[in-house]
Chain A
Amino acid sequence: MSQLYDCRDAFAQALEEAARNDPRIVVVINDSLGSSKLKGFKTAFPQRLVNVGIAEQNMVGVAAGLANGGKIPFVSGASPFLTARALEQIKVDLAYSQANVKLCGMSSGLAYGELGPTHHSIEDLAWTRAIANLTVIVPADPLETAQAIHEAARVSGPFFLRISRMPVPQVHPADYRFRIGKASWLRQGSDVALIATGVMVARALEAAALLANDGIEATVINMATIRPLDRETVIEVARRTGAIVTVEEHTIYGGLGGAIAEVVVTTYPVPMRILGVPGVFAPTGSPEYLLEHFGLTPAGIRAAALELLKARAQQ
C-alpha cells in the first residue's frame, strides 16, 4: 500500500512558503489553529495570524477588509461552519466584491465521520459553485494541495479551496503542474470515464485498476477545479468514452456530478452515473465506514461503471 498523507500538512507548509515570499499574505482563523495545522505559521508570523474566535461571519468580513487594505488573507476554518455560517459574506463581501481572499475549507466532506452530520460538509461545493466570481478548487493529493495554495496566492480574486483531512496517496507524478480550470488525465481508456475530485480521485484510480481486470479500460480524470469547470475536457471525455461516472465525497445534488451533467446534457449527451452522498444525512460512522456505506469505494465505483455500461448496452 502506498504512503498516505494528510493534505493539511502540505497546505500549512505551502502557506508558510507563500507567506515568506509575499509579505501581503495573512491568515484569518476561527479558533482553528490546530485543526488547520497552522501552529508553525503562527510561530513564523505571529503578527500575520488573526484569530477572530468562533465567529465565521466576522471572519470572512474581516478577511474582506484586510484585502481592502492590501493584504492577501487566507481564511482557514472547518468547511461546514465556514461555508454554511458565512455564506452571505462569501457571496457579497468576497465574490460580488471581487475581494482577493482565499477561503480554505478544512476537513470537508465526510472527514469528521463520527462527529455526525452537523460537522459533515457535503453541501459546500454546491453552495460555493453557485456563486459568481468564486474559483472553487478541490485538491486530490499533497502535491496538488501545495500548488493550489501557491496559485491562489498568485492569482487575484476570491477562491474556495476544499481541503480534507482524510489520508490520501500521492496520485500525481512529481512533475505534475496544477493549473486552475484544467483537469488532469490520470489514466486513459476508451470504455468509460471516471471523473473524480478530492479524496475520491485515488479511489477512482483503484476502481480503474479493478475494471482493467474485467477487461474494461477506464479514463480517470481528476477534476480539481469545480469552477470554472474544464468544459473542453468534459466534452472530450464524453466523446471518447460515451459513458461517465462522477465520484465525489459530497451530496449528489449540485456538486461535481451536477457540474459535469450540466455540460454533458447541453453539449454531448452520454449516459452518466453520479456517485456521492445520495441526498441524506449520514448515519454514525467513521469516514471510511461512511464512504463504504455510500459505495464510495473502488468496488462501489467499479460496480457503478459496470452497471452503467450494461444499461447502455441494453438501450
Chain B
Amino acid sequence: MTQEREDQLTALRKKANLLRQRDLVMIQRAGMGHIGGDFSALDILVTLYFAVLRVDPQHPDAPDRDRFILSKGHCAGALYNTIAEAGFFPTSELETFMKPLSRLNGHPDRTKVPGVEASTGPLGHGLSIGVGAALAARLDGASWRTYVLTGDGELQEGSNWEAAMAAAHYGLDNLTVIVDRNRLQQGAPTEDTIRLEPLADKWRAFGWAVREVDGHDYAALLQALQGEHWEPGRPRCLIAYTHKGQGVSFMCDNVDWHHRVPTPEEAERALQELQEAVRG
C-alpha cells in the first residue's frame, strides 16, 4: 500500500470517528434517533462521500452527479452528519435534528435537504428508485453511477426483489447496491426473524455480481467501490458485513441499541471510547 493510500484511509477513519461523535451528541440532544444502524452504516457513507461519489455540494442538482440513495431511511442521522460534513448544508444545522420545523426529519426529505436524493423511511423503496435512476443514465448514455444502501432486515420487503429482478434484466452495471449486513433488525437478529441467508447466493441467483467485504474496513470498501474488477453487464451487490453500534463497545452487536437513546452517562462513556480510539 502506498503512503498516499494509507494517509487516505487514516483520514477516512478519523472522519468517521468524528461523525460518530457528532451523531451521538445529535441523538442525545434530540432524544431520538437510530444510533445502532447509524454506526453500522457510517464507514460506508464516509467511504462513498469522501472517496467515491462524484457529487458537488455547491451544485446538488447537477444532472451528471452520482446518485446515492439511503434506502434505510431511519439512519438519516448518519446521512445528515455525512452530507453536512461534505458541505451540503452547515454542520451547525445538525443541532435542529428532529426539532419542530427543522428540515432534518427523522427520515430524509429530498424536497428540503440538499444532497438527499430520495425521501425514504418505509423500507424497500430505495432499490426501485435506484433502478429507475440507473435506467435514466443508461437512456442518456451518461456515465454517472447510482448507489443504494439498504439495511439487511429491510430485504425482507418483497419490493427489493422485484427491483433486483428488473436491474438484472436490464443489465444495469451502473447500479451498485450495498447491503449493511449488521445482522440485527429492530427487535432481533435477522436470522431469528425471517432468515436472509444464504444472502449472497440469493443476489447471485437474481443475476447480480456479488462481493462481500468487511463494512468497516476502508481498504476493502474502497477497493470494492472504486474497483474496476466487476463483471460487466450485471448490477453490483456489495454485502458489507458490519456491526450495529460499531465503535462503542457497549452498543456493538447489541440489539437494544436499534433506537435507544444513550443516557448522559452512557453518552459520556461512548464519547470517551470514540475519542480514545482516534488517539490510539
Where the two chains meet, the residues of A that have a C-beta atom closer than 8 Å to any C-beta of B are 26, 28, 47-48, 50, 52-53, 55, 57-58, 60-71, 73, 88-89, 92-93, 96-98
Contacts and interface: CB of A to CB of B under 8 A. Distances in A.
A68 B140 contact: no
Contacts of B63: 70
Q: Which of B120, B132, B146 has most chain A Cβ within 10 Å?
A: B132
Contact of A58 (B128, B136, B137): B128
Contacts of B170: 50
A47 B166 contact: no
A96 B169 CA distance: 29
Contacts of B121: 92
Interface stretch (B51-59, B94-102, B111-119, B223-231): B111-119
Contacts of A60: 128
Interface residues of B, number: 35
Nearest to A85: B159
Q: Which of A47, A60, A64 has most chain B Cβ within 10 Å?
A: A64
Given A53-B169, A93-B129, 14 more contacts: A50-B170, A52-B162, A57-B124, A58-B163, A61-B127, A61-B159, A62-B135, A64-B118, A65-B130, A68-B129, A70-B140, A88-B125, A92-B122, A96-B109
Contact of A64 (B109, B129, B139, B162): B129
Contacts of B140: 69-70
Contacts of A63: 132
Interface of B: 63, 67, 109-111, 117-122, 124-125, 127-137, 139-140, 146, 158-159, 162-163, 165-166, 169-170
Contacts of A69: 67, 132-133, 135-137, 139-140
B137 A62 contact: no
B249 to A, nearest CB: 36
A57 B67 contact: no
19 contacts: A53-B165, A53-B166, A55-B159, A58-B163, A61-B128, A62-B131, A64-B132, A65-B134, A65-B136, A66-B133, A66-B135, A68-B67, A68-B132, A68-B133, A69-B136, A69-B140, A92-B120, A92-B125, A97-B119
B206 to A, nearest CB: 13
A279 B59 CA distance: 51
Contacts of A67: 132
A49 B163 CA distance: 17
B165 A97 contact: no
Contacts of A65: 118, 128-136, 146
A21 B203 CA distance: 40
B123 to A, nearest CB: 10
Contact of B125 (A52, A73, A93): A93
Contacts of B127: 61
Q: Which of A63, A65, A69, A92 has most chain B Cβ within 10 Å?
A: A65
A25 to B, nearest CB: 11
Contacts of A66: 132-133, 135-136
B119 A57 contact: no
Given A57-B128, A70-B63, A47 B139 contact: yes
Contacts of B118: 64-65, 68, 93, 97
A66 to B, nearest CB: 4
Nearest to A68: B133
A158 to B, nearest CB: 12
Contacts of A50: 135, 170
A28 to B, nearest CB: 8
